[in-house]
Amino acid sequence: MHDLNVYLFISGALFLLGLLAVITRKNAVSVLMGIELILNSAGLNFVAFSHFSTGNLSGQAAALFVIIVAAAEAAVALAVFLNIYRLKGTSEVNKVNILQG
């Protein structure tokens, strides 16, 4: 079919887009969406490597796990954001610096 590199480029682009979103977006939900992109790039890598090397479905299984963990993580992250909003009155990431040492 297609070459493995195509998949890797696509997943690298996804990863960079995600990272860019995580670093630059002010809105916490947008940052979360960037994280989702990064996770999906990783899932794509799993599937691609699995397809081109072993031929069995273990990569697809790992991708399913990533999706499930991402869903759970999104739930937790949204709960954290809600609490931060309640505490600070905002959901902009650069205004929250309570992790400062």
3-state percent helix, strand, coil for the chain, nearest multiple of 5:
80, 0, 20
Two structure tokens written together for 62: 């790992």
Q: What's the closest the beta carbon of residue 54 comes to another protein, in angstroms?
A: 29
Which neighbouring-strand residues pair with 27? 92
94 binds another protein (CB under 8 A): yes
Is 89 a binding residue for another protein by CB under 8 A? The answer is no
Kindly state the smallest distance separating residue 93's Cβ from another protein, in Å. Answer: 6
96 lies in the binding site for another protein (CB under 8 A): yes
Instruction: Tell me how many residues contact another protein (CB under 8 A).
Output: 13
Q: Considering only 2-10, 41-49, 68-76, 93-101, which stretch makes contact with another protein by CB under 8 A? A: 93-101
Token output for 16: 């960079």
**Alpha carbon separation from 1 to 7, 42, 50 (Å, rounded):** 12, 21, 14
Please report, as ranges, the residues that interact with another protein according to CB under 8 A: 19, 22-24, 31, 93-94, 96-101
